[in-house]
Amino acid sequence: MSSHSSTARFAEARRVAIFGGTHGNEMSGVTLVNLWMKNSTEIRRKGVEVKPFITNPKAVEKCTRYVDTDLNRAFTPENLSTMGEHDLPYEVHRAQEINKIFGPKGSPEAYDVIFDLHNTTSNMGCTLILESSKDHFNLQMMNHIQKAIAPASCLVLLNEHPLLKYSTSRSVAKHPVGLEVGPQPQGVLRSNIFEAMRVILKHALDFIELFNEGMEFPPCTVEVFRVSERVDYPRDANGNIIAMVHPNLQDCDWEPLNPGDPMFQTFDGKTIHYQGSGTVYPTFINEAAYYEKQQAFVTTRRETLVASALRKA
């Protein structure tokens, strides 16, 4: 079979989870999942079990990102196989529980799809996060969502960077889907962000229902923004930040940053320019949670991926 006519075939997606509260102060996902746990009418689809689930209830209760350590970095092979329940950080213990319920990660028993709902303080709009450029099921789903919500837009961030990729909560599933919607401050619920997230989930679940019903999805292309580099704030010798995101860059997620463009502004008013070798597309610009991760933004590069035709096996 020649590659242009090959069709990707997957078993029906019978088990789907929607995670909220992986970061306890990201209120859209926390609120939607809590609503759907009380009344699941909206997320019910024929022949699919859709399970809404609060992943970090202690952090949600305290309205903080996490209690001991970032849950969305905790699903490493080491953490998931560690013994000694009593001494573990809360989130490592919780990662093990989640892996038992929705995994085990990498096994045939794992959930088919996990949607993990996040908010960002960055001006990213709606962003789907893809963990593998070879996941044709997710590429087709993301293409479907993009078409369904047009003229509204929803970009795709691809993170399969060897060093910057991290071990997410959703990585337990066969098809992990991250959803970031912003800008929204931590601890705040904004109606526009809430509704945007809700609509994307609707179309994502519709896609799964259509797929399970046997619809064939023709090959398509998906424009993605591939994570390239992490850029830290300028710092002094003691590690203290000495500059802010430049006003020309602030809120300009996904817009081209060219060599020589203003990038930071020091507290004494000097401009620091981008010195890279070509055009990049910054995102997660000035995200609150990434100060502690030494990241002012990540650069991405645009790329077009081809998704094979898709139908159920």
**Which sequence positions are flagged as catalytic?**
180
Does 170 bind Zn ion (CB under 5 A)? Our answer is: no
Q: Which entry of its own copies, Zn ion, none binds 121, CB below 5 to 8 A by partner kind?
A: its own copies
| Residue that has been written with the tokens 């590429």 in this structure | 139
93 three-class SS: helix
Residue 292 and residue 52: Cα distance in Å, rounded? 29
Residue 238 labeled ligand binder: no
Name every residue whose Cβ is closer than 8 Å to that of residue 294 and which is 6 or more positions away in sequence. Answer: 230, 232, 233
Residues that bind its own copies (CB under 8 A): 31, 34-35, 63-64, 121, 183, 185-192, 194, 240-241, 244-247, 250, 265, 267, 286, 288-289, 291-292
Amino acid (1-letter code) at residue 240: N
Is 287 assigned to a binding site? no
Q: Which is nearer to its own copies, 174 or 246 (CB)?
A: 246
Peptide bond into 89 cis (omega under 30): no
Q: Residue 23, interface with Zn ion (CB under 5 A)?
A: yes
Q: State the virtual CA torsion across 119, 122, 124, 127 in degrees, nearest 10.
A: -30
Binds 144: which of Zn ion, its own copies, none (CB < 5-8 Å by kind): none
Determine whether the annotation assigns residue 233 to a binding site.
no
Q: Residue 167, annotated ligand binder?
A: yes
Our CB check for its own copies shows the closer of 244 and 309 to be 244
CA 104, chain centre distance (Å): 20
51 touches Zn ion (CB under 5 A): no
Residue 37 interacts with which of Zn ion, its own copies, none, CB < 5 to 8 Å by class: none
Which residues 6+ apart lie within 8 Å of 2 measured at CB? none
d(CA 88, CA 79) in angstroms, rounded, equals: 9
What does the binding site for Zn ion look like in residue numbers (CB under 5 A)? 23, 26, 118
Annotated binding site for substrate: 72-73, 166-170
Annotated binding site: 23, 26, 65, 72-73, 118, 166-170, 180, 290
